Structure 1
Amino acid sequence: MRRNAVLKPLPSEDDQAARFVRQREADRTAVAEDYVELIADLLRAEGEARAVDLARRMGVSQATVANTITRLQRDGLVETRPYRGLFLTEAGAELATRAKARHELVVRFLIAVGLDAETAEADAEGLEHHASEKALAAFARFLDAHNGKRR
C-alpha cells in the first residue's frame, strides 16, 4: 500500500451486509439466467435444446445439467418433454430475454470503453449478473452519449 493512500472507513455493518447479500443473490440467479439464456439461444439457432448440448457448451457434466434443470423446472422456468428436449416456460422466456439484453448491454459498454470484442464477451459473462440496475442504467446512458458523439 502506498504511504500517502487515504484509507476509507468501513461502511456500516448494515450497508456492508446488504452488499454481500446482493452479491450472493446474484450468484444464485446467475446459473438460472445462464441456463435459460443458452436454452433460448439453442432453440432459436438449432430448433432444439438438449441437456447434452448444455453440458458441452457450459463445460459441465450431464449430471450437473440434470440437477440444474430439475431446479429450473421446480422454479417454473423450464419444461421437459419426452424425446423432445428442453423448452422455456413463459417465465423462463422472459428471464432469458432480460438476461440477453443485460449481457448485450454490458458487452457494448465494454467495447465502447476500449475492450476488444472477444474479451468483452468473456468478461460480460460474470459482470452481467453482478451489475446493479443503477450501473446498467449508467452503462446505457454512457452508450447513448457515446453513440451521439459518433454521428
Structure 2
Amino acid sequence: MRRTPAPRPLPPAEDQAARFARQREADRTATAEDYVELIADLLRADGEARAVDIARRMGVSQATVTATIGRLQRDGLVETKPYRGLFLTDAGRDMAQAAKARHELVVRFLIAVGLDAETAEQDAEGIEHHASEAALQAFERFLAARKAGG
C-alpha cells in the first residue's frame, strides 16, 4: 500500500511573499528580455528590426508590439528612427546578450538531462526568466562536471 507523504508546512508568510514578489518581477522582466533578444536577433539576421516582424514572430498584434516598444523606449532599452525601424541602446544590447546567454545555458542543461532539442528550446523560454542566479550557476557546474567526466 502506498503512503501519501505528509503535507509540508507552509513557509513563513514573509518568505512566501518574497518568493511571489520575485516571480512577479521575473514576469515583468521576461517581456522586455524577449523583445530585446528578438530585436538583436532580427538586427543580426536581417539588418533591421521592424514592429511587423516582431508581431509575427511573437504571435501578438502590432498594437501590442507598439505598446511594448513604447515601454522599452521609456526604460532606455530601445530607440526608434523614422523610416528605419528599431535599434537597441547599449543597455538593450547588454540585456539581450544576457538573456541569450541564459537561454542557451538552460537549453544545454535541459538537453544534458535528457530532453530533446525542440522541447528544451520551448521549455527554456519560460525557465530562463524564472531561474535564480544560484540555479543558473548550478546548471553551469553540472554541465562543466559532465564535460570533465566524459
Between the two proteins, what is the percent identity of the paired residues? 78
Alpha-carbon offset, residue 6 of structure 1? 2.2
Distance 1:6 1:110 in 2: 30
1:71: how far off?
Answer: 0.2
* 4+ aligned runs moved over 4 Å, structure 1: none
Equivalent in the alignment of 2:9: 9
Hey, what's the Cα distance between the residues in 1 that align with 2:70 and 2:15? Answer: 35
1:67 and 2:67 correspond: yes
1:133 and 1:112 map into 2 onto residues whose CA distance is 19
Give the equivalent residue in structure 2 for 1:125: 125
Structure 1 partner of 2:28: 28
Q: Which residue of 2 aligns with 1:145?
A: 145
Name the TM-score, length of structure 1 as normaliser.
0.97
Which structure 2 residues correspond to residues 34-45 of structure 1 after superposition, within 5 A? 34-45=34-45
The amino acid of 1:142's aligned partner reads F
Q: Tell me by how many angstroms 1:3 deviates.
A: 4.0
**Matching residue's letter, 1:75:** D
Q: List per-residue Cα deviations over 1:70-105 (Å, max 9, x = no partner).
A: 000000000000010000000000000000000000
- Residue 7 of structure 2: SS of its match in structure 1? coil
**Deviation per CA, 1:108-136, whole angstroms, max 9, x where unpaired?**
00000000000000000000000000000
For structure 2, list consecutive stretches of 5 or more residues without a partner in the other structure: none
Residue 18 (structure 1) aligns with = 18
Secondary structure at the aligned position of 2:86 is classed as: strand
Aligned length: 149
Q: Could you state the TM-score of these two structures normalised by the residue count of structure 2?
A: 0.97
Structure 1 gaps, min length 5: none
